[in-house]
Chains A and B, each alone.
Chain A
Amino acid sequence: MSLAAEAFVSQISAADPWPENATLYQPLGEDQILLSDCASSLAVQAYLRMCNLPVQVCCRPNAEYMSPSGKVPFVHVGNQVVSELGPIVQFTKAKGHSLSDGLDDIQRAEMKAYMELVNNMLLTAELYIQWCDYNTAAEISRPRYSSPYSWPLNHILAYQKQWEVRRKMTAIGWAGKSLEQVYEDVSQCCQALSQRLGTQPYFFNKQPTELDALVFGHLFTLLTTRLTSDELREKVKSYSNLLAFCRRIEQSYFEDSQAGSSSRGFSKGPSLF
């Protein structure tokens, strides 16, 4: 869809309130979803919960192909389909729900910059570890990614995805990096986030913003996902204020519904407690 058309549609849809039956689609939580998709999906769920917008999480093996941008997660609201955190934030804003209205221009610039830091470093590192580290790709990513498909489609799709990610890594100059360098980048990124957070409850003091949702999505996933080595988890764990930050958001936005509803959809196993 062109930008003009998008803007037009969001203007029209602005009038409608948030419906009760909004749905978030992601790949199968137990057997299929990968680190990076899980992090993005959790970030969107955290954001919607912070906005107090109810959403039903729905796992589909073909979620990636259902998404208008080819990336998960995406939300289906009324007759609109929007994918990824950035566009979803704009979409909810058009409907009158925003977390960053209280920020001034400089703070907003800072928030956007840190969000790009997370995308540029953490998301890229997750993709690198998933698809460019030989062991992780062979033991975790390819089998999980292709789990819903039968032979030979499973191999074709998994290798196609791996090839695609590797081309992207080459284009941005990450192909030559070693796993150690990538861990070091993650560590640097966490240090920057930790410095920025300091002793505040959220990045911009009392109120959470989309930045908090994004950081939570990635760090919580890194902390709770089992990979071939524990090094990444240990690196994140060494920043105590980030750990406390993840716990705080889990407690205030995810605890209540854990009792019975399936609205989280995200595999309940991992928890920081």
Chain B
Amino acid sequence: MAASMELRCWGGDWGLPSVHTDSLIVLAYAKFSGVKLTVTPIDWTWKTLTGTVPELVFQASTVTEPAQILNFLRKQRFNADYELSARQGADTMAYIALLEEKLRPALLHTFWVDAENYASLTRPWFASRSPFPLNFLVPGHHANTALSRILLTKAESPLNTITEVEGKIYSEAKECLNLLSHRLGTAYYFFGNTPCSLDAFVFGFVAPLHKANLPSSPLQNHLRQLANLQRFCDHILNAHFSTHPGSPQPVEETVDANLQKLTQLVNKESNLIEKMDDNLRSSPQHKPLRSDPRPSRDNDQSSTPA
């Protein structure tokens, strides 16, 4: 175990160590079990398109997928579920299945399929983290994967369109958040006083929803009403991921949030103008002027690390 393990994952932003659910799960579990990982963000490399994320490299072997990586770490004697009873282990499996079945489709939809979120948050972020020619490919590639996964797993017949399944996946996801909130109650962690793999999974699924500045999200609004789940995320971030509590990080965050809000406003405004333009078709001379500065401003803003 002298050799260090290397984890390749998407980089962090929005006050999170990674913006990617599966990467977050592994990062959180690594903190809980005390394993020292060398984290290599794949940002600005060709791995953004070719790599499977997250990926753990140890000596000659590579492991992908959070569940497999967690198993691998357990075999290396980094076990955060050490104190759980067999019954609690069974509960962990069941709740992870609940997250996968009920929350993941809506999460994918919120970040990748919802047009407003995709255009103003997800696409600029992932485009700005990919190297030059790939920035045109990576976001679209992820969005297509997300859309086809939702349709294949949740659509009732192969011919259903996305709007027909939206209502169903969001109501299921809201119910799932309610169930998690009931299960968590007022505790800091799901089982006892120490975090375990279920906490890592819930954190990975809920934290991006909690932290991202989504312009439109019924799911995020729903999460805002579940104070204990929000506190759960904040507590894990403070207790396990902040290197020096009370640092200027939060200030930067608010500045960042304000900037993001400003960008969103500008975006909305320019969208509006665009629509008016399209309707009236009376001021063609404005188009080249406006469409130019907007994307660059977008990129500048969203690439500022939190």
Contact = CB atoms under 8 A, between A and B. Distances in A.
Interface stretch (B132-140, B176-184, B282-290): B176-184
A254 to B, nearest CB: 26
A189 B149 contact: no
B168 A3 contact: yes
Interface stretch (A8-16, A28-36, A102-110): A102-110
Given A109-B179, A112-B179, A172-B149, A195 B97 contact: no
B100 A120 contact: yes
Contacts of A172: 149, 152-153
Given A119-B101, A188-B93, A195-B86, A171 B153 contact: yes
Given A70-B156, A117-B94, A193-B90, A109 B180 contact: yes
A223 B157 CA distance: 30
Contacts of B157: 69-70
Contact of B101 (A69, A70, A120, A188): A120
B98 interface: yes
A226 interface: no
Contacts of A139: none
A156 interface: no
Nearest to A69: B156
Interface in B141-164: 148-149, 152-153, 156-158
A167 B95 contact: no
Interface in B16-49: none
Contacts of B101: 116, 119-120
A112 B153 contact: no
A168 interface: yes
Nearest to A191: B90
Given A173-B65, A195-B87, A164 B100 contact: no
B102 interface: yes
Given A116-B97, A116-B101, A171-B148, A196 B182 contact: no
Interface in A1-58: 2-3
A112 B101 CA distance: 11
A108 B167 contact: no
Given A113-B179, A193-B90, A119 B158 contact: no
B292 to A, nearest CB: 38
A113 B98 CA distance: 5
A192 interface: yes
A110 B152 contact: no
Contact of B93 (A2, A3, A189): A189
A3 to B, nearest CB: 4
B263 interface: no
Interface string B48-87: 0000000000000000010000000000000000000011
A259 B171 CA distance: 43
Given A3-B168, A3-B171, A168-B153, A113 B87 contact: no
Nearest to B93: A192
Which among A109, A112, A164, A189 has the highest number of chain B CB atoms within 10 Å? A109
A110 B97 contact: no
A237 interface: no
A114 interface: yes
Which among B95, B97, B175, B180 has the highest number of chain A CB atoms within 10 Å? B97
B136 to A, nearest CB: 24
B93 A116 contact: no
Interface string A62-80: 0000001111000000000
Contact of A171 (B94, B152, B168, B180): B152
B89 A117 contact: no
Which among B90, B180, B185 has the highest number of chain A CB atoms within 10 Å? B90
A121 interface: yes
A167 B152 contact: yes
Contacts of A3: 167-168, 171
A110 B183 CA distance: 8
A113 B91 contact: yes
B163 to A, nearest CB: 10
Which among A106, A195, A198 has the highest number of chain B CB atoms within 10 Å? A195
Nearest to B65: A173
A220 B128 CA distance: 53
A175 to B, nearest CB: 12
A119 B87 contact: no
Nearest to A165: B152
Contacts of B175: 112
Contacts of A117: 93-94, 97-98
B97 A105 contact: no
A3 B182 CA distance: 24
B183 A2 contact: no
Nearest 6 A-B pairs (CB), nearest first?
A192-B90, A109-B179, A113-B94, A120-B97, A117-B97, A105-B182
Given A2-B167, A110-B94, A195-B89, 5 more contacts: A69-B157, A70-B156, A71-B156, A171-B148, A195-B87
7 contacts: A106-B182, A109-B179, A110-B183, A116-B97, A167-B152, A191-B90, A192-B90
